[in-house]
Chain A
Amino acid sequence: MKPLFKKAVAAISLFASGAAYAETASKGDPYQLNLTNGVTDISNQVYDLHMLMFGICVVIAVLVFGVMFISMYLHRKSRGVKPATFHESLKVEIAWTVVPFLILIGMAIPAANTLIAMEDTSEADMTVLVTGSQWKWHYKYMDREVEYFSLLATPQTQITNRYEKGENYLLEVDRPLVIPTGQKVRFLITSDDVIHSWWVPDFAVKKDANPGFINEAWTQVDVPGIYRGQCAELCGKDHGYMPVVVIAKEPAEYEAWITEQETAQRIAKEEEQRLLALSMSMEELMAEGERVYMAACAACHMPNGEGIPGVFPALKGSPMALNDIPAHIDIVLNGKTGTAMQAFDKQLTLSEIAAVVTYERNAWGNNTGEMVQAKDVNDIATGQ
């Protein structure tokens, strides 16, 4: 408890003297009491506004409560005080209406200035399309041939307390967003299903991802580093498992990274076509299928394939997984509109879809013995 106490004392004494509490809490400080200062010009402005507001509120509170506590001490019946009879004073009422109003104007002006700066998304150096879906983020670099999904990287074994939790528990992803430092990055933010909210506290950027609409936000990060945030709008069962991780790199480093990604994504597409000719064995399909299922499907259909009755349908023993193979492939590829079933054509490769469909048709006692190959998936995807 000692560090907490020391921090609290330090914080209170600084606040009381009206000085800004300039110390930035270190990453993951368990006794962080205050808003993060952040790493952008905007986040610093926001922090200053926060401290201004906080300071004014503390002064008001001290004055009001001070008068109240003095009164509670002095004007007690037990001290033999006889009550005064004064009441109603127009002058006083006007004073305590007008003075707060003037204070408000003092707050409103800097707030409006910062707000105008935050909403100015013009003249960006680059644009990233951010798309939320249950429960992952998708990043698409609008000026480059790079796009990918970003999923929680914390293993289930940590969440269910079977293994010790890592340093960045719930704040780590498989593929972070990478942006260059010193450039104005514009974010276009939208959603494929429910409303999510993309939030990085260090940038003071929080913007809702609304399905069917596109919101704009921007940041300019000058300090290279790893910045972590979370989805901030309740988006269903795994809302708490949808972190945002952004890495800011020096422009040269960023350029090298994005070029490498472009090449890798091009090669992957070519490889996918090449693999169409190859068939996988049942063991390979099941092993790959289980991996894909746990990463992409188990959140809703549950690891045991039983779903959540009334919310997410079971696959174990379901007609979808036992009967018509093309319909099964189709729903995985294209999703089902009007339900939470997403389209996985962009999220998974053809061979991954083949593997996961095979897995679903043979796991948990479904035992159809049927195998699906990448070519079968490609046929449905291309409408053959």
Chain B
Amino acid sequence: MITISLFTGFLLVLAGLYGALTNRNILRMIVSFTIADAGVNLVLIAVGAMPGRKAPILDAAVPVAEAARRIIDPLPQALVLTAIVIGLGVTALMLAYAYRLHASRGSLDISKFTELKW
């Protein structure tokens, strides 16, 4: 299970990156990046997972005294929350940029925005 999520995560990252590197349309690039972000988040979760253990919540199912033996590593879960929020922030920002670029040129083709070069 862990291995599957790990590989799925990496595959998503590669697919997302490939999409971002080959689609000229800015919106498609942004979507590709969100796919890659999702992949990264999946990898993060997979690294924290441990076979046969429970979520790190100390309720009736996991008494405090047994926590060390019963729960999975909580840290990656905390990290992934941060990563998700940051990814969302960047995506929103890029979307706003896309709007602005489209408003300025009437096009969403990234290869049209090359006045600055060399």
A, B co-complexed: no
Residues of chain B touching chain A, judged by Cβ–Cβ distance below 8 Å, are none
